[in-house]
């Protein structure tokens, strides 16, 4: 692992303006796309030329369209709302859902894969497209994906940057890659903050709604139902980028917010005595960090960043994956704390993330790209724009 720090120098090469291309799958409101939007904006502010190329939504098959027509629920395919919509960077969506190739991207100093499938595409690109980097935000080995192909991407000769220590360890242990740069995610304290506060008058918990099985919302709901047996007046807050559907129905007592603005998300976190996250697998878990920035203790399964940051009884609690009883017990113990003890835990949660900074992480990301670009055998590209 290459552990960078903000004071590191790029040995043997001058820092220079780079042409950088991010190659993306479908751009949407996922946490991974949000992180990419943050780094793309920061790199542009540093003076680099940045472009993003992504694929459009997949067109439904004729069978799917006929089925939808007879169900009277057919809607045309539209590009989803994306975190990229709010940034002023050239983002090109290619004309169809196909692999992105040399013809779709600029000649550059660095080209960055951002998902297992894009790693396959970037690997095939000409060296003129830049040094090949793989931004690994999760270990994408899910049962709904082609596992053999996904695993193979981590063995490709691409320079890896990743966001959490567990991913660095996984790249080394399972794929033999010992040259992985760790650039941790961060929290924007201008967006996510709260003053010193006390427990809510009505006990309140919150969670992120997402229908993906690995997010474990079913476990969160089971745990919350158990808590309500002891605390029937429990207030439950949630938000998500997609509305609940027949796959996971939310009980009527859940106050759900669809696609709330950032200020409203901050308020949701700050209204909670406990933030619950029950992921079965997690690359990082930004909401847990954001909740702590709003002085909310977190109860989480042992996945992603929380497994590295939470200390039981100090800033929250950890429980095993799929352990609804453990989640409920831990959350209830926080809800039952005397106010002074809760305030202490709240301040410890805030202290955990207080020094986290996207500015610092962005400079670490930029240094990693400079190191990668310095290894590219192609001559420097023209960076005058």
372/254 Cα distance (integer angstroms): 47
What string of DSSP letters covers 220-260? HHHHHHHHHHH-TT-EEEEEESS--BTTBPPPTTEEEEES-
CB-based burial label for 186 (10 Å; 0-12, 13-18, 19+): buried
The region of weakest confidence among 156-160, 191-195, 241-245, 367-371 is 241-245
Residue 83 near residue 34, CB atoms below 8 Å: yes
Q: What pLDDT score does 29 carry?
A: 86
The whole model's pTM is what?
A: 0.86
Distance of CA 68 to CAs 76, 109, 346, Å?
11, 45, 49
Q: Per residue in 220-248, pLDDT tens?
A: 999 999 999 999 999 999 999 889 988 88
Q: Which superfamily does CATH assign the domain made up of 2-186+357-374 to?
A: Glycogen Phosphorylase B; (3.40.50.2000)
Model confidence at 361, pLDDT cuts 50, 70, 90, reads very high
Regarding the domain delimited by 204-353, which CATH topology (the fold level of the hierarchy) does it fall under? Rossmann fold (3.40.50)
In this structure, what token pair is assigned to residue 234? 């429990």
Q: Per residue in 128-163, pLDDT tens?
A: 999 999 999 999 998 889 999 999 999 999 999 999
End-to-end Cα spacing for the chain: 35
The reply to whether 2-186+357-374 and 204-353 are identical in fold is yes
Residue 183 near residue 364, CB atoms below 8 Å: yes
Whose tokens are 């996945």? That residue is: 303
In eight-state DSSP terms, residue 129 is: G
Model confidence at 15, pLDDT cuts 50, 70, 90, reads confident
- Whether the pLDDT of residue 284 is over 80: the answer is yes
Model confidence at 74, pLDDT cuts 50, 70, 90, reads very low
Domain edges within the chain: 2-186+357-374, 204-353
């Amino acid at each position: 692992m290459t552990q960078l720090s903000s004071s590191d120098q790029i040995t043997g090469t001058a820092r220079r303006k780079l042409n950088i291309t991010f190659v993306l799958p479908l751009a949407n409101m996922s946490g991974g796309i949000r992180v990419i939007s943050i780094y793309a904006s920061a790199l542009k502010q540093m003076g680099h030329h940045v472009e993003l190329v992504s694929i459009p939504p997949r067109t439904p098959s004729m069978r799917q369209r006929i089925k939808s027509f007879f169900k009277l629920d057919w809607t045309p395919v539209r590009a989803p709302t994306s975190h990229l919509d709010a940034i002023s960077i050239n983002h090109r969506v290619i004309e169809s859902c196909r692999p992105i190739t040399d013809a779709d991207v600029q000649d550059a100093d660095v080209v960055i894969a951002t998902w297992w499938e894009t790693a396959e595409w970037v690997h095939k690109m000409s060296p003129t497209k830049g040094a090949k980097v793989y931004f690994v935000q999760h270990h994408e080995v899910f049962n709904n994906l082609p596992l053999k192909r996904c695993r193979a991407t981590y063995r490709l000769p691409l320079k890896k940057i990743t966001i959490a220590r567990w991913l660095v360890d996984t790249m080394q242990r399972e794929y033999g890659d010992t040259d992985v740069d760790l650039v941790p995610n961060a929290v924007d304290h201008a967006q996510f903050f709260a003053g010193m506060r006390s427990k809510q008058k009505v006990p309140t918990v919150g969670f992120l709604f997402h229908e993906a099985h690995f997010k474990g919302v079913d476990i969160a709901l089971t745990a919350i139902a158990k808590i309500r047996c002891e605390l029937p007046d429990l207030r439950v807050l949630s938000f998500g980028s997609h509305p609940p559907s027949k796959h996971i129905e939310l009980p009527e007592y859940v106050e759900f917010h669809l696609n709330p603005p950032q200020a409203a998300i901050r308020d949701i976190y700050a209204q909670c005595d406990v933030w619950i996250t029950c992921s079965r697998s997690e690359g990082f878990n930004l909401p847990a960090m954001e909740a702590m920035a709003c002085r909310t203790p977190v109860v989480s399964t042992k996945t992603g960043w929380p497994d590295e940051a939470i200390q039981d009884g100090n800033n929250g609690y950890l429980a095993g994956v799929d352990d609804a009883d453990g989640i409920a017990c831990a959350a209830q113990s926080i809800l039952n704390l005397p106010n002074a003890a809760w305030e202490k835990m709240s301040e410890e949660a805030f202290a955990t993330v207080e020094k986290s900074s996207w500015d610092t992480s962005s400079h670490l990301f930029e240094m990693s790209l400079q190191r990668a670009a310095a290894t590219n055998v192609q001559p420097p590209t023209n960076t005058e724009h």
